[in-house]
């Protein structure tokens, strides 16, 4: 609940799943502040996924799908990174590997014990571009978006590759995250007679037993 909103200061709406099933119900004014389960069995209250923090397992999705996503600090084994790579020169090369990887952050070289560089293999070049560069099981740690990785090729050491890490080059860290999408997700599971304070712009209601007969009193303002 935000601020000191009192249930007696709110306006009331009576919601019946039999007439509003699968409908996103926008608060007539302000936000939904309290939800009361007036049904005789448990109900689910669904809310937009960008309004509720949900636990996400490490590396379960691309970081760009979340607002302010947590960062694992590592790359992802077997990911191919090509969009942010440049080479000092180009020629037809297949299956090369990375030499010593240097990490640069904010201009100075900050490759310290807190930043463990990743390594790469399956590096392919054409006459004009890097066409493949695969992260190995050495995924690195302590990395951040914007870090610049630089390394010579082992078989072709006169060529140096440079990678500027983007958000999705790094694996999602485990934790609570807000999705950017507004897909409805279960935000509350409420027992019969339970009242819960909340602050949602929209809700859907459903009987947890699938009976399509949930009854809710919603307080808004």
Phi, psi torsion values for 20, nearest 5 degrees: -130, 25
Letter string b/e over residues 68-78, b meaning 16 or more CB atoms within 10 A of that residue's CB: ebbbbbbbbee
Q: Where are the domains of the chain?
A: 10-52+182-220, 71-169
DSSP-derived letter for residue 211 is: -
pLDDT of residue 185: 85
Strands (DSSP E) found in 80-159: 85-87, 93-96, 102-104, 120-125, 130-135, 148-152
pLDDT of residue 109: 61
pLDDT of residue 192: 96
Percent of the chain having pLDDT more than 70?
95
The answer to whether residue 213 scores a pLDDT higher than 90 is yes
pLDDT of residue 2: 44
In whole numbers, what is the pLDDT of the chain averaged over residues?
A: 91
Mean pLDDT of 183-193: 90
**Domain formed by 10-52+182-220, architecture:** Sandwich (2.60)
DSSP for 62-88, written as a single string:
-GGGEET--B-SS--TT-B--TTEEES
Give the lowest-confidence range in 45-49, 53-57, 94-98, 147-151: 53-57
Mean pLDDT of 144-168: 96
Mean pLDDT of 207-219: 94
Mean pLDDT of 194-213: 93
| Contact status, residue 67 vs residue 199, Cβ threshold 8 Å | no
Mean pLDDT of 190-215: 94
pLDDT of residue 1: 37
């Amino acid at each position: 609940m935000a601020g000191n909103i009192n249930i007696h200061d709110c306006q009331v709406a009576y919601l019946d799943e039999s007439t509003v099933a699968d409908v996103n119900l926008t608060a007539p004014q302000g936000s939904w502040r309290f939800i009361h389960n007036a049904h005789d069995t448990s109900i689910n209250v669904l809310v937009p996924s960008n309004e509720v923090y949900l636990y996400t397992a490490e590396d379960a999705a691309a970081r760009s799908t979340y607002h302010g996503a947590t960062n694992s600090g590592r790359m992802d084994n077997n990911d191919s990174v090509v969009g942010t790579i440049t080479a000092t020169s180009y020629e037809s090369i297949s299956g090369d590997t990375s030499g010593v990887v240097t990490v640069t952050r904010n201009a100075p070289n900050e490759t310290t014990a807190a930043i463990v560089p990743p390594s790469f293999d399956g590096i392919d070049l054409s006459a004009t571009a890097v066409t493949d560069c695969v992260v190995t099981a050495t995924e690195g740690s302590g990395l951040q978006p914007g870090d610049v990785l630089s390394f010579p090729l082992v078989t072709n050491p006169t060529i140096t590759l440079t990678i500027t890490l983007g958000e999705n080059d790094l694996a999602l860290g485990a934790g609570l995250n807000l999705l950017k999408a507004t897909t409805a997700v279960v935000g509350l599971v409420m027992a019969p007679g339970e009242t819960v304070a909340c602050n949602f712009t929209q809700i859907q209601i459903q009987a947890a037993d699938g009976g399509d007969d949930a009854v809710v009193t919603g307080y808004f303002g």
